[in-house]
């Protein structure tokens, strides 16, 4: 089973916002669409969801399932004055597939929401809303999910939990997930494959590893007694407390980590300092 957008074109008021955009997502795969504000992510997802029509191109979903696609575009739309179970039942009715009490509980459990909670969703945090919206999108078990900027507005804990949920849905349930974001770090951590969109055009398709390499010049290394490290000094690192900012040398960051281990410096983490502009600049050259 696969989902594909093929050569999609779209203009608003004579301005082309999608230029021959093609992408695909297979079952169980998490595919990212990474781009800055206004790049065309939401428009493409709306076209894939059938909410907006394309001027040219086609969306193809090969599946034998009844409901092919579930999704959240922009902010999750929920009935504020209903509780979570009532929301699921209301959306089930709209989708023409009434949800039993047992199924309601199972959908809430699947997205990690408290099945006992009975107050209206008006009181819910952004993270809880996203989860409930995903439960609604999962009604009738579509093989594909489209999530537009699901991480926006979440606190760091909410981001981690949502990422875990997305990964579980893909790995354990085989759902193909298309997810958009303007955050390189989030895409790198979450996705199997990433498309970069700029000015309505897909300008690259990469693995997370390749994107880290292309979007990163500096790494933040956390560890113990970094100020005593000769390796960091020799590599011109800027050290502040337990953190050192170091430029990746031509021989690769992994060699600095290896040298630090040999030197006896304890390292807790090494995180790339990603910059989306580096991905866009390369193409502008």
The contact set with ligand ATP (CB under 6 A) reads: 12-13, 17, 35, 37-43, 182
Looking at the Cβ atoms of 37 and 64, the one nearer to ligand ATP is 37
Looking at the Cβ atoms of 40 and 127, the one nearer to ligand ATP is 40
- Helix and strand numbers (H, E) in the chain are 10, 13
- What does the CA dihedral 230, 236, 238, 241 come to, rounded to 10 degrees? -10
Looking at the Cβ atoms of 19 and 117, the one nearer to ligand ATP is 19
Residue 5, classed as helix, strand or coil, is strand
Secondary structure of 181-233 in HEC code, one letter for each residue: ECCHHHHHHHCCEEEEEECCEEEEEECHHHHHHHHEEEEEEEECCHHHCHHHH
Determine how many CB atoms are found less than 10 A away from the CB of residue 242: 14
| Rounded CA separation 249/254 (Å) | 10
| Rounded CA separation 282/203 (Å) | 10
Looking at the Cβ atoms of 51 and 271, the one nearer to ligand ATP is 51
Least distance from ligand ATP to the Cβ atom of residue 36, Å: 7
Least distance from ligand ATP to the Cβ atom of residue 197, Å: 7
Least distance from ligand ATP to the Cβ atom of residue 144, Å: 19
Looking at the Cβ atoms of 14 and 64, the one nearer to ligand ATP is 14
Least distance from ligand ATP to the Cβ atom of residue 43, Å: 3
Least distance from ligand ATP to the Cβ atom of residue 181, Å: 8
């Amino acid at each position: 089973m696969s989902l594909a957008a093929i050569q999609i074109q779209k203009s608003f008021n004579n301005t082309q916002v999608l230029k021959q955009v093609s992408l695909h997502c297979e079952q169980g795969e998490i595919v990212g669409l990474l781009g800055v504000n206004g790049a065309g992510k939401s428009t493409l997802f709306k076209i894939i969801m059938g909410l907006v029509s394309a001027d040219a191109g086609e969306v193809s979903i090969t599946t034998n399932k009844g409901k092919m696609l579930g999704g959240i575009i922009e902010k999750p739309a929920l009935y504020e004055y209903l509780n979570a179970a009532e929301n699921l039942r209301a959306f089930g009715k709209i989708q023409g597939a009434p949800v039993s009490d047992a199924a309601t509980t199972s959908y809430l459990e699947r997205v990690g929401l408290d099945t006992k909670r009975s107050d209206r969703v008006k009181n819910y945090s952004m993270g809880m809303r996203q989860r409930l919206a995903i439960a609604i999108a999962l009604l009738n078990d579509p093989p594909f999910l489209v999530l537009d900027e699901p991480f926006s507005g979440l606190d760091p804990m909410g981001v981690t939990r949502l990422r875990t949920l997305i990964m579980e849905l893909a790995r354990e349930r085989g759902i193909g997930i298309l997810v958009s974001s303007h955050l390189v770090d989030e895409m790198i951590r979450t996705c199997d494959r990433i498309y970069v969109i700029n000015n309505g055009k897909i300008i690259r398709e990469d693995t997370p590893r390749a994107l880290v390499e292309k979007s990163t010049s500096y790494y933040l290394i956390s560890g113990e007694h970094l100020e005593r490290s000769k390796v960091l000094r020799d590599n011109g690192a800027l050290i502040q407390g337990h953190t050192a900012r170091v430029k990746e040398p031509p021989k690769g960051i992994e060699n600095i980590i290896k040298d630090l281990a040999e030197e006896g410096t304890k390292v807790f983490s090494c995180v790339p300092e990603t910059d989306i502009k580096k991905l866009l600049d390369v193409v502008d050259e």
